[in-house]
Amino acid sequence: MSQGTVFDKILDGELPCHRVYEDDQVLAFLDIAPLAPGHTLVIPKQRRAFLHELDDEVAAALGRALPRVARAVMAATGVPEYNVLQNNGSSAHQAVFHVHFHIIPRVGEHGLGVGWVPGQLDGEEARRLLGAMHASLASEA
């Protein structure tokens, strides 16, 4: 029975999808509202809202599947350029609260438009961030 998201319904067989790739832990399918032809979604079968909630084994399976699916998208569309996008949280533009990656080919003017305003990394801020990140990583070891 579905847990509520459209991806849960696809995994449960309640909604159809255009399957691109599937293994024991990952499903990839064409996006029904594509930004460009070939826009594909890659989801884990583990039902988690955010990337940081995934088990290491499932994350590794996604890591193996993403390049394979990207190659398939490139072969199908004939374009060598694409974006891989993954959002976590509503303020980061996540609309479906099940981990998912978008593989979005750049086909002419179609694809992902990105507004990127780079800043500068201050040395003191870098040290503070590194300390917190290293402590977090050490607690997982």
pLDDT tens readout for residues 36-74: 999 999 999 999 999 999 999 999 999 999 999 999 999
CA–CA separation, 90 vs 45, rounded Å?
21
Q: What's the pLDDT at 124?
A: 94
Active-site residue identified among 39, 98, 100, 102: 100
Contact residues for 53 (Cβ-Cβ < 8 A; gap 6+): 99
Between CA 35 and CA 9 the distance in angstroms is 22
pLDDT value of residue 118: 84
Torsion of CA 32, 74, 92, 8, to 10 degrees: 40
**How far is 105 from 78, CA to CA, in rounded Å?**
9
Does the active-site annotation cover 134? no
Evaluate if pTM is beyond 0.95.
no
Give the model's pLDDT for residue 3.
Answer: 57
Query: What is the rounded distance in angstroms from the CA atom of residue 3 to the CA atom of residue 121?
Result: 41
Return the bridge partners of 43, or none: 27
| pLDDT at residue 2 tops 70 | no
pLDDT band at 10 (very low <50, low <70, confident <90, very high): very high
Give the per-residue pLDDT at 1: 42
What per-residue confidence (pLDDT) applies to 139? 94
Extract the tokens encoding 31.
């996006």
For position 28, what pLDDT does the model report?
98
Q: What is the mean pLDDT of residues 80-103?
A: 97
- Assigned fold of 6-114: HIT family, subunit A (3.30.428)
